[in-house]
C-alpha cells in the first residue's frame, strides 16, 4: 500500500493526450481532497501486471481507455450492470478489496444529450460505427424511450451484433447496414438524432460519409469525437444550420460519474469543464 495521497490512475496506450488527468486533478483540488490522478501508458501485454500493481498499491480507482476497455474485464472481480451488458469497462472502483468494473460512457452520453434538451421518446436515431463507444451509446439509447434505431458500420456484422444490447421489444426495430448507407437521403431524412461513433474526424480532417443536407432541420448531430476545434462533422452540420455538438460534454459527464463512484462526492463539473477547456 502507498502512503500519501489516494491515487486514481488511467490505463491506456497511448495516454499522453488524455484530458482526464487535468479534469480529475482540478476536481480533487476544487474539493480539497488529498487525491491524485495519474496516467500510465500500459501496453496490451502488460495489462494484467498493471491491474495487479493497482491492487498491490491500493489505488482507489482506475479509468481504462483504448485499447483496454474490453480486455480488462477478465482481470476484475465483478462488473456493474451497464459494464456487464456492454462488455466494456471505462471505470474501475475499489469496493473493499475488490475491483469492480463500471461503464460511465453510456450514462455520460445520455446526460450530454439531455443537457441539449433532446427528447428521446418515440424518436429515431442513426448511429454511425459499431465499436466500443457505439456499444455504450446503443445500450443507452435502448433504455431512453427511443422508438427506432439504425446502426451503420464499415463492418456490417458488428452493427448487427449491437441488436443484442437492446431490450427485447426494440430488437426488431434495429436496422443494421453498411456505413455508405448514410449517403442515402431516405435513411438520413428519417433521423431525429445522428451520432458519430466512428473514429472518423479524430484527425481533424475526415468525417463519416453522410448526406447531411438531407437531414431534417430539427435533427441533432452528436459527434463523439472531440478536439481543440470543432470536428469537421460538427462544423459542416452547423454550416447547414443543424444543431451539432462534439463529444466534450460526454467526456465531462462520464468523468463526473466516475469521480462520484470513486469519491462518493458530487463532482465539481464547472471546475472540471474549465480544466477540460484549458487542457
224 sits near ligand NDP (criterion: CB under 6 A): yes
69 catalytically annotated: yes
Q: Between residues 6 and 247, which has the closer beta carbon with respect to ligand NDP?
A: 247
267 sits near ligand NDP (criterion: CB under 6 A): no
Q: Between residues 77 and 160, which has the closer beta carbon with respect to ligand NDP?
A: 160
25 sits near ligand NDP (criterion: CB under 6 A): no
144 sits near ligand NDP (criterion: CB under 6 A): no
Q: Are strands 148-153 and 220-223 parallel, antiparallel or unpaired?
A: unpaired
The one among 225, 237, 244, 275 contacting ligand NDP by CB under 6 A:
225
Shortest distance (Å) from residue 109 CB to ligand NDP: 7
Contacting residues for 146 by C-beta, under 8 A, at least 6 apart: 120, 121, 122, 123, 124, 125, 170
Q: Near ligand NDP by CB under 6 A, which window of 23-31, 55-63, 220-228, 265-273?
A: 220-228
Residue environment code for 244-269, b if the CB has 16+ CB neighbours within 10 A, otherwise e: bbbbbbbbbbbbbbbbebbbeeebbb
Q: What are phi and psi of 34, to 5 degrees?
A: -85, 65
Q: Between residues 200 and 210, which has the closer beta carbon with respect to ligand NDP?
A: 200
170 sits near ligand NDP (criterion: CB under 6 A): no
Restricting to residues 178-217, which ones interact with ligand NDP according to CB under 6 A? 179, 197-200, 202
Total residues contacting ligand NDP by CB under 6 A comes to 25
Restricting to residues 147-166, which ones interact with ligand NDP according to CB under 6 A? 153-155, 158
131 sits near ligand NDP (criterion: CB under 6 A): yes
The one among 21, 61, 129, 142 contacting ligand NDP by CB under 6 A:
129
Q: Which residues are catalytic?
A: 69
Interface ranges with ligand NDP (CB under 6 A): 66, 105, 129-134, 153-155, 158, 179, 197-200, 202, 224-226, 247, 250-251, 254
Amino acid at each position: 500500500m502507498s502512503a500519501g495521497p489516494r491515487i486514481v490512475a488511467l490505463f491506456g496506450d497511448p495516454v499522453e493526450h488524455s484530458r482526464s488527468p487535468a479534469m480529475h486533478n482540478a476536481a480533487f483540488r476544487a474539493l480539497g481532497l488529498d487525491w491524485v490522478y495519474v496516467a500510465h501508458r500500459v501496453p496490451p501485454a502488460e495489462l494484467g501486471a498493471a491491474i495487479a500493481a493497482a491492487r498491490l498499491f491500493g489505488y482507489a480507482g482506475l479509468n481504462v481507455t483504448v485499447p483496454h476497455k474490453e480486455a480488462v474485464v477478465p482481470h476484475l472481480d465483478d462488473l456493474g450492470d451497464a459494464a456487464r451488458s456492454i462488455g466494456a469497462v471505462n471505470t474501475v472502483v475499489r469496493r473493499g478489496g475488490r475491483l469492480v468494473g463500471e461503464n460511465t460512457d453510456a450514462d455520460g452520453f445520455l446526460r450530454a444529450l439531455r443537457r441539449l434538451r433532446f427528447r428521446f421518446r418515440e424518436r429515431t436515431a442513426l448511429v454511425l460505427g459499431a465499436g466500443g463507444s457505439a456499444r455504450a451509446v446503443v445500450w443507452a439509447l435502448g433504455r431512453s424511450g427511443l422508438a427506432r434505431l439504425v446502426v451503420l458500420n464499415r463492418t456490417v456484422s458488428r452493427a448487427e451484433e449491437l441488436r443484442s444490447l437492446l431490450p427485447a421489444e426494440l430488437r426488431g426495430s434495429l436496422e443494421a447496414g453498411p456505413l455508405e448507407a448514410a449517403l442515402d437521403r431516405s435513411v438520413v431524412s428519417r433521423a431525429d438524432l445522428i451520432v458519430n461513433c466512428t473514429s472518423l474526424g479524430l484527425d481533424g480532417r475526415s468525417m463519416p460519409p453522410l448526406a447531411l443536407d438531407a437531414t431534417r432541420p430539427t435533427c441533432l448531430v452528436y459527434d463523439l469525437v472531440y478536439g481543440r476545434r470543432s470536428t469537421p462533422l460538427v462544423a459542416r452540420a452547423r454550416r447547414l444550420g443543424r444543431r451539432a455538438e462534439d463529444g466534450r460534454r460526454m467526456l465531462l459527464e462520464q468523468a463526473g460519474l466516475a469521480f462520484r463512484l470513486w469519491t462518493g462526492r458530487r463532482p465539481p463539473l464547472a471546475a472540471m469543464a474549465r480544466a477540460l477547456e484549458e487542457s
